[in-house]
Amino acid sequence: MQVQVPLENGFLADEYTKFASDADKIAGKPAKSFPISIKNIPAGTQSLAIYFKDFDSVPVCGFVWIHWLAANIPTVSEIPADASRNKPFNFIQGANSNVSKLLPKLSGPQLGYTGPQPPTGVHDYELTVYALDNNLELEDGYYLNEFLEKIDGHIIDKENVILPAKAEK
């Protein structure tokens, strides 16, 4: 399986990060998801799933930041920009790290995509796209631990892509 996300000058485009327009933010946080191209989906794949995370957040907040969980995505070759909000096809989305009880209430979208906001330097965000042999028995708002439990034993293939995002223009 091949997964590709367009980059601008080697970075995730501003419209999907902390530099998004106000119209593309919720509670000040980026909410417009980036487009994803998926090729060579393995035979037998019944659904796709996404886990978008930031390991570079650990020194900043103490944990790996969950930016997007999505599952039961049909076996499409393109997930368009802003799919998290516009849902061009039926799929479910999990809780992101904005749901954390360690953060102030209403700190951004808690379901679906919440974009990169590195405080300094460059953070390398990791997108993992899974090809699964089933649809997951989950509902919108599921947590990462539930997702990992449900995909166990159902992964046909997975592809990781590193998406750098910068703190300053």
CATH of the domain at 137: 3.90.280.10
Backbone φ and ψ for 65, nearest 5 degrees, come out as -80, 125
Among candidates 55, 15, 52, which has minimal Cα distance to 169?
15
Total domains in the chain come to: 1
Distances (CA, A) of 84 to 14, 70, 110, 141, 154: 17, 8, 12, 13, 23
**pLDDT value at 129 more than 70:** yes
- Determine the structural domain holding residue 19 and report its residue range: 2-166
Each residue's pLDDT tens digit, 93-124: 999 998 877 666 656 678 899 999 999 999 99
Each residue's pLDDT tens digit, 58-92: 888 888 999 999 999 999 999 999 999 999 999 99
- Using DSSP bridges, classify how beta strands 36-39 and 92-93 pair: parallel, antiparallel or unpaired: unpaired
What does the pLDDT average to over 16-23?
A: 97
Percent of the chain with pLDDT over 70: 95
Please give the residue that has the higher pLDDT: either 106 or 52.
52
